Each structure stands twice: as C-alpha cells, then as structure tokens.
Amino acid sequence: MADEGEAVLKLLMVVVQDKDAGHLLEGLLTRGLRATKLASTGGFLREGNTTLMIGVEDERLDEVLNVVRSTCRSREQLVTPLAPLGGATESYVPYPVEVQVGGATVFVLTVDRFERV
C-alpha cells in the first residue's frame, strides 16, 4: 500500500500479436509512456507474440488501456493447424481453418514498490 502522498503504480503485462506490437509501442511512446518488450510464443497457434511490461501511475491506467484498444484489434485469419504431438491424429484437421487472432490480453497488477537503479 502506498504512503499518503505517494503515487499508486500499476504494472500492465500486455500480450499482443507481433504484427500489432509496433503500432502499440508507437502509440505509447507518443504519449510519453515507456514499455519493456519481451518476445513470447502463444500456446494455441504457436506463433510469435510480444509481451509488453508497462509501468504507469494509477491515473494514467485508462490512457494506456485506450491505446491498447485502439491499436490491437481482433481479426479473422486462415491458419493450418499444426499436427498434434503424440500420434492422436483422429481429430487433426489438415486444411486451413478461420480463427480469430489479434486483440490483446492485459493483466493489471498493483506495484508495492518500484526502484530505478
């Protein structure tokens, strides 16, 4: 819990598709917001994702979420599912299927302490 007069900080963990990451970072930087970019891989499509760690004051949380909403849109994409591991091929679909991709998954955490060294 923050002391009286001390800013409440939030840490956002934002997972987006790689192709949305550049627009999101640009939108954050133009507003003076910084982020740390981490490479990650999605479990469903096994494609590259980007996870951003964004630290902000509580009063700027909605601003960050609005940037995420405006730059990371869901869309339909044709994908060919990867063959299952372990030989369970009876449910495997060998042709492209349309799935919804994009958007963002956002985790908002309260920060108890922050230091820049």
State pLDDT tens for residues 46-81.
667 899 999 999 999 999 999 999 999 877 766 666
**What is the second-level CATH architecture of the domain 9-83+95-109?**
2-Layer Sandwich (3.30)
What pLDDT is stored for residue 93 in this prediction? Answer: 62
State pLDDT tens for residues 12-46.
999 998 888 999 999 999 999 999 999 887 665 56
Would you list the domain boundaries of the chain? 9-83+95-109
Under 8 Å between Cβ of 64 and 12: yes
Q: Is the pLDDT of residue 117 over 70?
A: yes
What pLDDT is stored for residue 51 in this prediction? Answer: 95
- CA 87 to CA 42: how far, in whole Å? 22
